[in-house]
Structure 1
Amino acid sequence: MAPGTTIGALPSELVHGIFSRVDEQKTIQQSRFVSQKFNEVASRYLITTTHVRMSSESISKLEEFCNHPVLSKSITNVKIILSCYDANMANNRALYMQDCDTRLFERIEILELNNAGRYDSGEEAEEGIENQLQEVIDNREFAKISEEGFEELIATPFQKLAMRLHAMYKQRCSDQEEVRQDNNHISRICVALCKLSNIRELSFTDEPGSAREELRESDFKNLGFDRTILKHFDFALSPSRWCGSFTTAYSIVPPVEMLGELCSQLGHYGVQPRSITMNLNAPSNLRLIGISSGQQLGLRILVAKATKLKLIVDGWRRKLAENNDRPRDEMLALCSFTQHFFSAPNLESLYIWFVEYPRFYEIPTVSLVDILPLQKSWPQLSDLELRYQPAALSDLRTLVSLQGNTVKSFNCECVWLLNGSWDEAIEAMRGFGSLEKVSVKYPRGERYGSGRGLHIGIPYDEVCCYILKQTDVNPLR
């Protein structure tokens, strides 16, 4: 730097280049105080990711970030949390207590598994807490709250905790429903996100723990509980996944507008990130998430410039092994979304995973041609991953005919072959002429059945070698 030159006179591009090579956040934070120039340039390196959920506080915070002159340029990744507070539990204390009872029982089981044989003289306190929680279950403390004749004045500390948690849950749910009124949350999120000039990644998530609450001691001072106890009840204030819980699987009504309508409106507002991830949990009635033709158009606009698309659908089971079939019309409602989600013309990476579908070994009711838009090709697609996807032999042949010259990496795991034979299937996969990497594992259908049995004796390495044309002997014949 020439003598007499001030930091403020340095070109922003030069200062930007300096900070792009600084990895440590604390150093960047401290550098902001050196000068106004450093503050302007360094600030954008401090916040690159933000998230939003259906609460007035969260959406207001998103709007604050997106209206900020610096942060609106620095934020590149946005996570939209789909988990929701269940209005049925908010309005029905008995249902809420039943759900808490079930979740606490599951919590105790996990503690027992994790701590089996680990207690020593220094861990007696943890064992004591586990015993207290078990007594809550054994004495039906939560269930008694909803019984006729229950007197709140003589409630136990754990019953008082549960009642206060329900009141707080109800308050959060009320805030959520007020935000959702007239789809006001959709327009606010869209207006905010379209102000992010450098958004590159957008994710929608309903994963367990994505919106986990942590109970604070200050909210329960008069009950005498500290975090050693309260941490075991964090679940009681956390939003629910769209598939609900063991108690609420059939009753929960997920905010489906956060899928079809939000994606559609984001597209119409001009939000077009390069990477989009969807991590969903299947509600008990998949028909709820079917999207209209108008929403499909907006969704296609949203993904129009995407080069990487990832879709994960979990939570297929409703209640353990009880009535888990997914009729074709339900699955087609999901397909009304997937077909248009994967319509991006410039797609380079496609990842789709229906986690452990079908959940209890039923025969799938849809095929790959229903799930993906196989009527046209993706000219730039190089990475393709299919996990737990049902496919007819004709689907695989169509896919290979469309992408045979583009796909370089192909992962095929737990694919259910609906007709034909697996030796014909890998023969079809051999048509991928540009493959550099391939993995085929745990096939289902035909000779391998529903997947109940162990996959023993399948020559995976030989199968991959055959697909890569490193041998001319089909190992499955």
Structure 2
Amino acid sequence: MPSTAKNLEHLPNELLVQCFSHLCKSSHTSSFIDNSPDIQRLRLVSKKCHANSSPLLIFSATVYITSASLFHLEELCSHPIFGQSINQVEINCSYYDVCMAESRGVYSYRCGSKLYQNLGNNPVDEMALYRMSDDWSALNKRGFLEKKPKLTENQQWLLDVHGQYKKLCEDQVRVKIDNAHIQRICTALMRLPQLHSLSLTDDSYYPVRRHRALSDADILERCLLTSTWKGSFPTAFFIRPPVEIIPDLFTALAQTDIRPTRIAIDVKPPNNLHCLKLPEPAQQAINTVVSRARNLSFKMQQWARKDSITEDNSRPRSEMLALCSLTSSYFDCSTLESLNLSFDEFPALHEPPTVSISEVLPLATQTWPQLHTLSLRYIPLTTADAKILVGSLRRQLRSFNCWCPWVVQGSWIDVINAFRELDTLQSFKIDYPKGGEFTDLPWDRSSTFPKQEVEEYVLRKAAENPMPRYFRTAEPDDVVP
């Protein structure tokens, strides 16, 4: 045995695990390349290195609401080695659309439109994809299949794939009977002693491969993609996404000892936000589960219905208040150190917001005494909200990022003055402010606001608020009547 290996044999197991874990963490944070080959090499050095480095091969897991994925999660969490090292679990709550499973025409229309959207990214086989997209879309024509026409090869292939999609949908319906999927997930999570991070996402993203011909496997995978909570283009207005997973999951977790220190929710907005309204018991369950959290993130992005600006993209106040019943209970946590709230692209097409941050967050009841990092994206606020927020975070907030804030009532001059009252602030970023005085300015004018000067003023590196001077210099003919 080499001398290095002999020396390693005399080191305590705890020290080896600590060293190996630092090696694993540093490589994962320094690049996007998986470092598992390095851990695999460590396992070959000696039996002792094998035993102490093996758990570091897997430290995160993702589960989908399918029988196969749930089974794999249960196996992984029950494993004597890997079950001791997994500390991050992602629950993917995207879904197979029952409407598409029941209608071959609707399914073919969705697949055809999805393929058509990507034609410009694949000029290598553009003509072949055009023909395929047209063949698929034809299946959705009224009475087309009833006439039993002679199908093209592309059409027959898609109908066969639809059979696979239907089976996947039936499987998902089966595993959710009596909320069995929630119980299986919670039971599996209870076997993970190192669990500290839990995330919930509806991501069904499939990477676009530019300037490269799509293989049959690529096209098949696109046709079997799940849907986000926004819904698929042909069914978005009359399908209800599985939003019940949030109250059901948190209610089940509240009955266990699972209290993650990091929780993230990243979903797309359903067509009607009323389905997100939580009853009081569900809100209390969320409060219980987040009671020890240090890092909470909530993201809801892509607000345009059916990804189209031609649709009615207004969000009535009653809808937004239903969403607020979720976010306000979710962020009601006194141990919080980092808060990330993002409503990316809200409101769609510059529709006026119908709520403000005091309704999205529990500003009236929570002061977050340990919060040092705050990130807000596309969040509306009033001057009064800004003063309440600053009053709560004046002596602890160190980093504040504000992207596309919208002043729905009050003045930007007063909001910036309020932000300057944050005594411990070390980093402040603000981009693309809207509302307030910006409402009467054209886009080319409002997009040139003095960002750096404002940031320096808030950080007390400059004595004068640049906003009054900026608004005064607007030429009269710049103002939109």
- TM-superposed CA distance for 1:6, in Å, is 10
For residue 305 of structure 2, give the secondary structure of its aligned residue in structure 1.
coil
Indicate if the aligned counterparts of 1:378 and 1:403 stay in contact, CA closer than 8 A.
Answer: yes
- TM-superposed CA distance for 1:148, in Å, is 4.6
Corresponding residue to 2:402 among 380, 400, 412: 412
- Residues 1:142 and 2:139 are matched in the alignment: yes
- Residues 1:168 and 2:157 are matched in the alignment: no
C-alpha spacing 1:109/1:250, structure 2 compared with 1 (3 Å)? farther
Per-residue deviation, residues 240-288 of structure 1 (Å, max 9, x unmatched): 0010122221122211122121123223222111111111100001111
Per-residue deviation, residues 375-431 of structure 1 (Å, max 9, x unmatched): 220111111111100111111100000101111111111111011111111011111
C-alpha spacing 1:147/1:382, structure 2 compared with 1 (3 Å)? same
Indicate if the aligned counterparts of 2:112 and 2:134 stay in contact, CA closer than 8 A.
Answer: no
Corresponding residue to 2:368 among 346, 356, 378: 378
Indicate if the aligned counterparts of 1:141 and 1:158 stay in contact, CA closer than 8 A.
Answer: no
C-alpha spacing 1:451/1:363, structure 2 compared with 1 (3 Å)? farther
AA of the residue aligned to 2:280: S
- TM-superposed CA distance for 1:472, in Å, is 2.0
Corresponding residue to 1:261 among 248, 251, 263: 248
- TM-superposed CA distance for 1:309, in Å, is 0.9
Corresponding residue to 1:466 among 437, 452, 457: 457
AA of the residue aligned to 2:228: R
Corresponding residue to 1:350 among 339, 346, 360: 339
2:442 and 2:62 mapped to 1: Cα distance?
A: 39
For residue 96 of structure 1, give the secondary structure of its aligned residue in structure 2.
helix
After superposition, residues 429-448 of structure 1 pair within 5 angstroms as 429-448=419-438
Unaligned regions of 5+ residues in structure 2, if any?
25-34, 469-481
Indicate if the aligned counterparts of 2:120 and 2:126 stay in contact, CA closer than 8 A.
Answer: no
After superposition, residues 25-424 of structure 1 pair within 5 angstroms as 25-32=36-43, 37-111=48-122, 115=123, 126=124, 129-138=125-134, 140-143=137-140, 147-151=144-148, 154-209=150-205, 228-319=215-306, 320=308, 321-375=310-364, 376-424=366-414
Indicate if the aligned counterparts of 2:113 and 2:133 stay in contact, CA closer than 8 A.
Answer: no
- TM-superposed CA distance for 1:434, in Å, is 0.7
Indicate if the aligned counterparts of 1:324 and 1:359 stay in contact, CA closer than 8 A.
Answer: yes
C-alpha spacing 1:253/1:76, structure 2 compared with 1 (3 Å)? same
1:183 and 1:26 mapped to 2: Cα distance?
A: 39
2:142 and 2:312 mapped to 1: Cα distance?
A: 31
- Residues 1:20 and 2:27 are matched in the alignment: no
C-alpha spacing 1:138/1:93, structure 2 compared with 1 (3 Å)? closer
Per-residue deviation, residues 347-389 of structure 1 (Å, max 9, x unmatched): 1111111011011211111111110011220111111111100
Identical positions, percent:
35
For residue 429 of structure 2, give the secondary structure of its aligned residue in structure 1.
strand
Who is 2:477 aligned against?
Answer: none
C-alpha spacing 1:428/1:37, structure 2 compared with 1 (3 Å)? same
2:57 and 2:394 mapped to 1: Cα distance?
A: 43
Indicate if the aligned counterparts of 1:102 and 1:247 stay in contact, CA closer than 8 A.
Answer: no
Unaligned regions of 5+ residues in structure 1, if any?
116-125, 215-225
Indicate if the aligned counterparts of 1:421 and 1:446 stay in contact, CA closer than 8 A.
Answer: yes
For residue 140 of structure 2, give the secondary structure of its aligned residue in structure 1.
helix
C-alpha spacing 1:348/1:101, structure 2 compared with 1 (3 Å)? same
- TM-superposed CA distance for 1:343, in Å, is 1.3
For residue 264 of structure 2, give the secondary structure of its aligned residue in structure 1.
strand
- Residues 1:453 and 2:449 are matched in the alignment: no
Indicate if the aligned counterparts of 2:428 and 2:455 stay in contact, CA closer than 8 A.
Answer: yes
1:370 and 1:389 mapped to 2: Cα distance?
A: 11
AA of the residue aligned to 1:447: E
Q: Count matched residues.
A: 449
Indicate if the aligned counterparts of 2:139 and 2:145 stay in contact, CA closer than 8 A.
Answer: no
Per-residue deviation, residues 2-57 of structure 1 (Å, max 9, x unmatched): 9xx89888642143244335445324324435655444322211000101010001
- TM-superposed CA distance for 1:452, in Å, is 7.6
Indicate if the aligned counterparts of 2:378 and 2:405 stay in contact, CA closer than 8 A.
Answer: yes
For residue 375 of structure 2, give the secondary structure of its aligned residue in structure 1.
strand
For residue 202 of structure 1, give the secondary structure of its aligned residue in structure 2.
strand
For normalisation by structure 1, the TM-score amounts to: 0.88
Per-residue deviation, residues 286-328 of structure 1 (Å, max 9, x unmatched): 1111222111111111111111111110131113121111111
For normalisation by structure 2, the TM-score amounts to: 0.87
C-alpha spacing 1:9/1:464, structure 2 compared with 1 (3 Å)? closer
AA of the residue aligned to 1:26: P
